[in-house]
Amino acid sequence: MQKVSFYPVADHALLVQLGPEISDALTAQVLRLDRAIAANPPLGLRETVPAFVNLLAEFDPLVTDHQEMEAAIRSLFDAEVGPAPKGTEREVLVCYEDDLAPDLDAVSKATDMSPEAVINMHLSGRYQVGMYGFAPGYAYLSGVPTALQVPRKPAAIRDISAGSVVIAGPQCLVMTLTMPTGWCIIGRSPTEILRSDPDKPFLFDVGDSVKFRRVGRSAYDNLTKGRET
Amino acid sequence: MTDAVLRVSFAGPLVTYQDAGRVGQMRFGVPASGPMDRLSHAAANTALGNAPDCTAVEISVGGLSLECISGALSLGVAGGHFKVNRAEEGIGAWSVFALQKGDKLTIRAGSKGSWAYLAFAGTVNAPKWLDHTATHSASGFGGGALLAGSTIRVSDTNIREERHGDIERPSFLPPKDRVRVVRGPQDRFFTDTLIETFFSAQYTLTGSFDRMGVRLSGPKLEVGGALSIPSEPITRGSVQVAGNGIPTVLLADHQTTGGYPKIATVISDDIDNVSQMRANDRLSFVEISPQDAVQEIRKSATDRALYLAKIAEPKGTLGQRLMQENLISGAIANDTTP
């Protein structure tokens, strides 16, 4: 394991940072550590939150502390863990038209491509579910093609519609709720990620791969008819 | 088995059902939610004789008015200094009382506090999401928000006369306006000057204040080049600084990850205090080491446990209280009789 940093978070958590830059290899290491912790949970652990380059370990400060948690997690670095579960390929529909894609023009300017070329490049990506984060069902997909990578906005914009397909840097996601975002909105998806099925409330599992498929405005409208927004 | 139905005639924004929250779902982007002020929520339930994590209604400064349209039950109210009116009569902001069919109850913002809790002697029938009634406000998942016309249905109700009366308030809470934080986890993105500014400045809570977080106004903490750090986990209490240099304190319905740097994190005891503040209130941040933070939390956990144990004791009915006094004076008389 390369150089690992531990950062205390308030009285009740420890951030375990495995490296500085997002890469598939690093995320795989985070998920491997997450599985090792799940198999041998340290005393006082409440939950872990795996992300791309780090993992948050939330603990009960009445039972343990940052130092004990760090020692317990260090001891799991070389633990034997099973292989990563094999992901499923998921298809997500997306409409890139008009008011559903308010930042498409800005992204086209920033990347020096036509809007149509931006769309084709987005469709050409092979995405992987790296983690959930931010809000319920927000699955962060890695794999935005390099030429399409744009920075996030300096501040989040409020009330962006659920279903918006947004990009920032190498990441893409489909928003599940109407909420603020600082990412660029290039389309909107009628595919439901957040489901009412209590046995599978979230469409993706971490490790799944995702392909986007383009739909026109009328197909989008038909698919979302009668749905609350 | 008796039931009660309460009909809401008015509810401000962000009046929601909350149990103690759902732990363990942050890996799906789901924060714990639950009460903004966890001790007051537990106090309203405990003084009423409920388990501390029972479903209660969290009332914002927008307020709540309701009428009992069938049945009767005892209720507990606690949190902040709200104005509570039952059947046209003012009662304690922290109290346990009965509501009978036809009685109206109004809870409105008072002199202080942003959140009050209304607990029920019985089982509240509120929808669950991922096993809890705690409402995630941005999605409405969980028990959900109460609106004018909503009904609150409570089953297996009872009147707990032996618990009626004022609830003692906690006396051990840390000062609200000096908020203890542990530095980081992304303080490395800030210059020493900005860190110094953060710890020496006064910040004011703005009106951008909901269950997700509260934006502050005060000196800006602009960082260059940190805008593209990978999205990473966030917790309740994170002080996140957006690209424009404006800090936001994240609260019960916080986002679970974010790509803006977190300069510091408020410790668990103090974050509920921040939640009870109001727009235009001022605060400053005081640094505490992680080791000291854990020690402080352990100390205050004892205070909280003793406090809840004390208010959990029934006061007894008037008859019982008189009887107790007679027995005591009788026993004393016996002891002193030669």
Q: For B279-329, how does the pLDDT look when each residue is reduced to its tens digit (9 = 90+)?
A: 999 999 999 999 999 999 999 999 999 999 999 999 876 666 666 656 555
DSSP string covering B174-236: PPTTEEEEEE-SSGGGS-HHHHHHHHHS-EEEEEEESSSEEEEESS----SS-TTPPPEE--T
> How big, in percent rounded to 5, are the helix, strand and coil portions of chain A?
25, 30, 45
How many whole angstroms separate alpha carbon B156 and alpha carbon A210?
Answer: 49
Q: What is the pLDDT of residues B215-269, one digit of tens each?
A: 999 999 988 665 567 788 999 999 999 888 999 999 999 999 988 899 999 999 9
Locate the chain A residue with the closest alpha carbon to B288: A10
Which secondary structure element, helix H or strand E, spans residue A163, and what is its range? none
A121 falls within a domain: yes
CATH number where A110 lies: 2.40.100.10
Whether A36 and A103 map to the same domain: the answer is no
**Which residue in chain A has the smallest CA separation from B301?**
A62
Report DSSP state, residue A218.
Answer: H
CA distance B29 to chain A (A): 4
Listed residues A42, A74, A106: the one ending a domain: A74
The DSSP output letter for B41 is H
Torsion sign, CA atoms A151, A154, A156, A157: negative
Mean pLDDT over A75-104 rounds to 91
User: Can you count the helices (H) and strands (E) in chain B?
Assistant: 5, 22
- CA–CA separation, A129 and A206 (whole Å): 5
| Residues A204 and A113 reside in one and the same domain | yes
pLDDT surpassing 50 at residue B336: no
With cut-offs at 50, 70 and 90, classify the pLDDT of residue B334: very low
One domain, residues A54 and A105: no
Give ipTM to 2 decimals.
0.91
Residue A122 and residue B104: Cα distance in Å, rounded? 58
Contact A7 B268 (CB under 8 A): no
Q: Are A133 and B30 in contact (CB < 8 Å)?
A: no
The answer to whether residues A123 and A212 belong to one domain is yes
Pairing state between β B73-78 and B64-70: unpaired
> Quick one: pLDDT at residue A113?
97
| Residue A217 at interface with chain B, using a CB cutoff of 8 Å | no
* Token digits of residue B324: 């107790």
Q: Are residues A40 and A108 in the same domain?
A: no
Under 8 Å between Cβ of B55 and B133: yes
Query: Pick from B228, B293, B298: which is nearest to A62 by CB?
Result: B298
pLDDT value for B1? 63
What span, in angstroms and rounded, lies between the C-alpha atoms of A127 and B128? Answer: 33
Q: Are residues A46 and A158 in the same domain?
A: no
Structure confidence at residue B335 as a pLDDT band (50, 70, 90): very low
Share of chain A above pLDDT 90, in %: 74
Q: How many CB pairs under 8 A join A and B?
A: 156
Distances B234 to A176, B230, B255, B334 between C-alpha atoms, Å: 19, 12, 7, 64
Residues 6+ apart with CB under 8 A from B316: B162, B324
* A110 and A189, same domain (yes or no): yes
pLDDT band at A55 (very low <50, low <70, confident <90, very high): very high
Residue of A nearest to B246 (CA): A155
Please report the pLDDT score of residue B322 as a whole number.
Answer: 65
Q: Supply the pLDDT for residue B230.
A: 79
Answer yes or no: is A81 within a domain. no
Is B178 a residue whose pLDDT tops 50?
A: yes
Question: For chain B, percent helix, then strand, then coil, each to nearest 5?
Answer: 25, 35, 45
A64 with A106, same domain: the answer is no
In order of their start, the domains of chain B are 3-172 (no CATH), 178-288 (2.40.100.10)
Domain hosting A60: range is: 5-74
In chain A, how many domains are there?
2
With respect to residue A205, please indicate whether it lies within any of the assigned structural domains: yes
- Return the percentage of chain B with pLDDT > 90, whole number: 84
Encode pLDDT of B17-55 as tens digits.
999 999 999 999 999 999 999 999 999 999 999 999 999
The pLDDT of residue B318 is 65
Judge if the upstream peptide bond of residue B185 is cis by omega within 30 degrees of 0. yes
**pLDDT confidence of residue A23:** 84
